[in-house]
Structure 1
Amino acid sequence: MIINKVSCQIDSANQNQWPFNVPAVRQIIEKGFKFTKPVTFLVGENGSGKSTIVEAIAEAYGLDAHGGRAGRKFVNDRPKTPLGEVVELHYTPIWAKRFASPRSRKGYFLRAETAFGFMSFVTGLPGYWEENVMEMSHGEGFLTVLNTMFSDPGLYLMDEPEAALSFSSCLRLIALIHRLATIGGQVICATHSPLLTALPGSEIIELGPHGIERVPWKETSLVNHWRRYLEDPDFYLRYILNEEE
Structure 2
Amino acid sequence: MRFDAASRGRRMATSWSARKGFFLRAETALDALGREGFSPDSVSHGEGFLAAFRGKFLHAGLYVLDEPEAALSFSSCLELIGHIDRLAKEGGQVICATHSPLLTALPGADIVEVGEHGIRRVAWRELGVVDHWRRYLADPHVYLRHIVEP
TM-score (norm. length: structure 2): 0.84
Tell me the alpha carbon deviations over residues 20-50 of structure 1, each in whole angstroms, 9 at most, x when there is no partner: xxxxxxxxxxxxx324xxxxxxxxxxxxxxx
- State the partner residue of 1:34: 2
Residues 133 and 198 (structure 1 numbering): CA distance in 2 closer, same or farther, change over 3 Å?
A: farther
1:139 touches 1:164 (CA, 8 Å); kept in 2? yes
- State the partner residue of 1:144: 51
Q: Which runs of 5+ in 2 are unaligned?
A: none
Tell me the alpha carbon deviations over residues 50-94 of structure 1, each in whole angstroms, 9 at most, x when there is no partner: xxxxxxxxxxxxxxxxxxxxxxxxxxxxxxxxxxxxxxxxx55x6
1:162 touches 1:191 (CA, 8 Å); kept in 2? yes
Residues 152 and 213 (structure 1 numbering): CA distance in 2 closer, same or farther, change over 3 Å?
A: same
- State the partner residue of 1:114: 27
Residues 176 and 233 (structure 1 numbering): CA distance in 2 closer, same or farther, change over 3 Å?
A: same
RMSD, aligned α-carbons: 2.6
| One-letter amino acid matched to 1:108 | F
Residues 207 and 151 (structure 1 numbering): CA distance in 2 closer, same or farther, change over 3 Å?
A: same
Greater RCO structure (CA 8 Å; 6+ sep): 1
Structure 1 or 2: larger strand share? 1
Equivalent position to 1:237, from 141, 144, 147: 144
Equivalent position to 2:103, from 196, 209, 222: 196
Equivalent position to 1:174, from 81, 87, 94: 81
Larger Rg: 1
Equivalent position to 2:91, from 171, 184, 202: 184
1:229 touches 1:236 (CA, 8 Å); kept in 2? yes
Q: Which runs of 5+ in 1 are unaligned?
A: 1-32, 36-90
Deviation at 1:117, TM superposition (A): 4.2
- State the partner residue of 1:221: 128
SS in 2 for 1:170: helix
Deviation at 1:103, TM superposition (A): 5.2
| One-letter amino acid matched to 1:217 | W
Residues 185 and 229 (structure 1 numbering): CA distance in 2 closer, same or farther, change over 3 Å?
A: same
| One-letter amino acid matched to 1:237 | L
CA distance in 2, matches of 1:189, 1:138: 20
Deviation at 1:144, TM superposition (A): 0.6
1:109 touches 1:156 (CA, 8 Å); kept in 2? no
Matches within 5 A, 1:127-138: 129=36, 131-134=37-40, 135-138=42-45
Give 4+ residue runs of structure 1 displaced > 3 Å after superposition: 103-107
SS in 1 for 2:101: coil
| One-letter amino acid matched to 1:218 | R
CA distance in 2, matches of 1:138, 1:34: 34
TM-score (norm. length: structure 1): 0.54
CA distance in 2, matches of 1:160, 1:34: 21
Number of equivalences: 147
| One-letter amino acid matched to 1:99 | R
SS in 1 for 2:60: coil
